[in-house]
Amino acid sequence: MPGTGRAFTYSPVGGTASGAVPPGFGRLRVRTRVGEGRAVFEAASRALMEWRAHRAMGVTMATDAGRAAPGVLVTVGLGVGPLRVRGPCRVVWTVREERRTGWAYGTLPGHPQCGEEAFVVEHAEDGRVWLTVSAYSRPALWWTRAGGPLVRVFQHLYAYRCGQVLRRLARG
């Protein structure tokens, strides 16, 4: 699998766990309401940890494990046919708490961006269930640099779509 044995393309690794953004990286944070109640939280957590949320969006997730766990290699694929863009990543951290579940992955050589992205489902005290997608990144290839602001718009739309799809999966 692409990414095996390769180092991350950024430093320090793990900043999405604390919200720290390294200098020179753009920040992303999109929070979407998924639903309400413990059953929704549990269903959303399972869908997120088992890659189903991403796959339901039409994203290919070639992984070396059935669930997110630190060290798991993931190659994300967006697009179709010869226009499919692949991004090798490795899971950096996971969290499974009473009211929070999620994971983050970091980019490996060959990814069009450089940075880290986290997906966390939270069951708030008021019963609402939220997905927060947070990331920091910068372009790694000439065409992502050339895309400039369009890349940032795509990242926001992608994060918002993650929440919409997770909402549908958690209710089903």
Per-residue pLDDT of the chain in tens (172 residues, 90 and over written 9) = 444 557 999 999 999 999 999 999 999 999 999 999 999 999 999 999 999 999 999 888 999 899 999 999 999 887 777 777 888 999 999 999 999 999 999 999 999 999 999 999 999 999 999 999 999 999 887 777 787 788 888 889 999 999 999 999 999 7
Domains defined along the chain, listed by start = 26-171 (3.30.530.20)
Please return the burial class of 10, using the count of CB atoms within 10 Å of its CB with bins 0-12, 13-18 and 19+: buried
> Number of C-alpha atoms within 13 angstroms, CB side, residue 19?
3
Handedness of CA 139, 142, 147, 149 (dihedral sign): positive
